[in-house]
Amino acid sequence: MEPREGRYLGVSKDGFHRLAYVEWGDPKNERVLVCVHGLTRQGRDFDPIARSLADRYRVVCPDIVGRGKSDWLADKSGYNYPQYWSDLASLIARLEVETVDWLGTSMGGLIGMTMAALAKTPIRRLVVNDVGPLIAKEGLQRIGNYVGKIPDFASLDEALGYMAGVTDELRTLDQAARRAFALHALKQRADGRWTLRYDPGIALPFQEGPLDDIDLWAVWDRIRCPTLVLRGETSDLLRPETASEMTRRGPRAELVEVPGCGHPPPLTTTLEIGAVRAFLDA
């Protein structure tokens, strides 16, 4: 099974931009799962879980503006959450459904949390993959050390080696899965060299001053929809005490810890996919 590719329009103060997504499953299915990726990633990260859930869901995996096959913004200060909310609201309108379920990894989880906390949210059930309302500065500092610093590579193997060093998800995958996961995040230039498929301008917030913990507990406490939290056992972005507190506050989330991985779980194992399926089917 291969996904269908789609495009739609978003708008910013500087004009319109085109956004890309892939879609799995029956296009007439009213049960829609929107999967939103992390900071430097793209929608094809969700291929394994989307393929698995396509028997029950219409699974839609967008490339957030500035990533993957979506356009880049001219004004780099436009890479912010209000822009992402606007673009994703346009996507939901395009899908012509009243409600969606949401699976968000890292940044995609934060977008889902903040949208789920809004009045009249279309989010019915929320899955947050390795992020929470208190974002640890240790993880932010690690990400800030590489985001926006886009090298180029003489070969695909060299690019894959670099990505394995900065992307925890790759370390838990076998060679074939690692290659597939990384390949969608890379593009080959006209000169034959390889580079990462995102706008380095998304790094602007990491360059504006010292990084510290980010506190979004007020947002978390406004969420009312059923929520599942996945946490990588050695994650440096979602601390164990934060994950535990997420089960007692706000939506009082279910919590599943994924052994043997850091930030974030890659959503490829039977444990991860089974936990998401069971939660969405409840």
User: Does a structural domain hold residue 167?
Assistant: no
Residues 6+ apart with CB under 8 A from 33: 50, 53, 57, 58, 59, 60, 100, 101, 102, 103, 280
Residue 190 covered by a domain: no
Residue 71 counted as domain residue: yes
pLDDT string in tens for the chain (282-residue length)? 789 999 999 999 999 999 999 999 999 999 999 999 999 999 999 999 999 999 999 999 999 999 999 999 999 999 999 999 999 999 999 999 999 999 999 999 999 999 999 999 999 999 999 999 999 999 998 888 888 888 899 998 898 888 877 766 666 677 777 788 778 889 999 999 999 999 999 998 887 767 789 999 999 999 999 999 999 999 999 999 999 999 999 999 999 999 989 999 999 999 999 999 999 998
pTM, two decimals, is 0.94
Q: Which domain holds residue 224?
A: 4-135+212-281
In a domain, 201, yes or no: no
State the Cα–Cα distance between residues 149 and 185, nearest whole angstrom: 15
8 Å CB contact between 70 and 8: no
User: Is it true that the peptide bond before 264 is cis, omega within 30 degrees of 0?
Assistant: yes
pLDDT in tens, 102-138: 999 999 999 999 999 999 999 999 999 999 999 999 9
pLDDT of residue 206: 81
Confirm whether 202 is domain-assigned: no
Number of domains making up the chain: 1
Instruction: Give the CATH number for residue 93.
Output: 3.40.50.1820
Closest CA to 54 of 12, 89, 95, 3: 3
